[in-house]
A and B are shown apart, each in its own frame.
Chain A
Amino acid sequence: MEPAGIQLTWDTAFFDTVEKSQHWILRSMRSHGPALVSLLWKILGNEQDVCDAYQELFLKLAHRPDRDKPANLRAYLFRTASNIAVTHLRRRMLQEKHLDKVRHTAERAAPSSPAEELDARAMKDRLRAAISNLPDYLREVVVLRDLAELPYTEVARMLNIPGSTARVYRYKAVQLLAEWLK
């Protein structure tokens, strides 16, 4: 049996190696985690889905092909989080659609009643669904600007587009959403 001291030395050395190579993941989780969780919550609005998406995000980050820190970590995290969340949302919508078919509930398929229109929750769900159906280039702007609450300059930098284009995309996205949620 090995003495305790030797075991401790080996563990420390191992941790040191790991820390040097991938400790930035934990650092990024600490600094960007709150904003990312907030963004995921606004897109998904469900605790379980948020935890799933957040886990998937950092798993993706840790298993990147080059295993290296992305050049613009903040942009990478926000864009990937948004994409993962939208994928989750689409999957959930598909499941709900399938369940509705199984249940044969006419009321779900029928156009929303005035009472439901007044219901903020229904409105939020409809908006989430509509956002997930936006074209990628418009959706990214709406998510980063309106849900992540980033300034236009940062949104533009993250998406590599001019600030004015970001504003135009956002306006187009809102117009489309208004058209869909008539």
Chain B
Amino acid sequence: MKPETTNNTCRTLRKKQGLTASVRERLLNFSLRHLESCPRCRKRAALLDRIELALDLLRTEQRPFDLLKKANTRAVGTLAHGLRETPDAGRLREQMPRPGWLELHTPALDKLLNVAACLFMVLIIKTGVFADLTKLENTGRKAVNNYYARNLSAEGLNDILRDIFPEAETNDIDLV
């Protein structure tokens, strides 16, 4: 019987992925172990992290909203007269930055989240989570009742129960 061909792209890819993941994990573990024991490398890693953080700060710095409009107006003003008077140039002078995906979809996302929250509430009511909570409360009440029944007299027990469960009729609770 002919041996199975090794030119199977899927299998090769799977093997390579497994190998890469394994190497990556081992390398990460090795680095972490070394960092734990080497203060010099730890310091170096902290410095690199600090630069990454500072670069993040630069990336996320808020710019004035009309900056693009101002920059375009200035740049268009220096172009040839004929170019300056075109309708495109006029549009550029009024150009505003496009809002990002998140900003654009925030209202829709808010509505979606509200609907999801409502559905979740309906779901937990339907599955009986609240009924279970009531059962749990009753069980707890019984347990408290039993404890005091064993350790206190009947009069003292009723007083305490009235303090703990003012809304409940303590006489109705079964003493087990």
Interface residues of A (CB under 8 A from B): 14-15, 17-19, 22-23, 25-27, 29-30, 33-34, 37-38, 40-42, 45, 47, 50-52, 54-55, 57-59, 62, 120, 123-124, 126-128, 142, 146-147, 149, 174-175, 177-179, 181-182
Segment touching A, from B7-15, B78-86, B161-169: B78-86
With both beta carbons as reference points, the residue of chain A lying nearest to B43 in the complex is identified as A182
Specify the main secondary structure of chain A where it touches its partner: helix
With a cutoff of 8 Å between Cβ atoms, the chain A residues found around residue B70 in the complex are 47, 51
Give complex CA distance A29, B74 in Å: 12
Q: Return the contact of A62 from the options B51, B57, B79, B91 (Cβ within 8 A).
A: B79
Contact A22 B58, beta carbon cutoff 8 Å: no
Q: Does B67 contact A (CB under 8 A)?
A: yes
- Given the contacts A123-B54, A175-B48, A55 and B98 also touching, CB distance less than 8 Å: no
Contact B55 A47, beta carbon cutoff 8 Å: no
Contact B51 A181, beta carbon cutoff 8 Å: yes
Contact A26 B86, beta carbon cutoff 8 Å: yes
Q: What are 24 pairs between A and B in contact, CB < 8 Å?
A: A15-B86, A23-B83, A26-B76, A26-B89, A26-B92, A29-B92, A30-B88, A30-B91, A33-B71, A33-B95, A34-B95, A37-B97, A41-B67, A47-B67, A54-B75, A55-B78, A58-B75, A59-B75, A123-B57, A124-B58, A127-B55, A128-B58, A147-B55, A178-B47
Give complex CA distance A179, B134 in Å: 63
With a cutoff of 8 Å between Cβ atoms, the chain B residues found around residue A55 in the complex are 71, 74-75, 77-78
CB distance from B52 to the nearest CB of A (A): 7
Contact A29 B76, beta carbon cutoff 8 Å: yes
With a cutoff of 8 Å between Cβ atoms, the chain A residues found around residue B98 in the complex are 34
Contact B75 A178, beta carbon cutoff 8 Å: no
Q: Does B39 contact A (CB under 8 A)?
A: no
CB distance from B51 to the nearest CB of A (A): 5
Give complex CA distance A25, B88 in Å: 11
Q: Does B63 contact A (CB under 8 A)?
A: yes
With a cutoff of 8 Å between Cβ atoms, the chain A residues found around residue B58 in the complex are 42, 45, 124, 127-128, 146-147
- Given the contacts A23-B83, A26-B83, A55-B75, A47 and B54 also touching, CB distance less than 8 Å: no
Q: Does B72 contact A (CB under 8 A)?
A: yes
With A26-B92, A41-B63, A47-B67 given, name 14 new contacts (CB 8 A). Answer: A14-B82, A22-B83, A29-B75, A33-B71, A34-B95, A37-B63, A42-B59, A42-B61, A45-B58, A51-B67, A54-B71, A62-B79, A149-B59, A174-B48
CB distance from B66 to the nearest CB of A (A): 9
- Given the contacts A124-B58, A147-B58, A25 and B95 also touching, CB distance less than 8 Å: no
Q: Does B68 contact A (CB under 8 A)?
A: yes
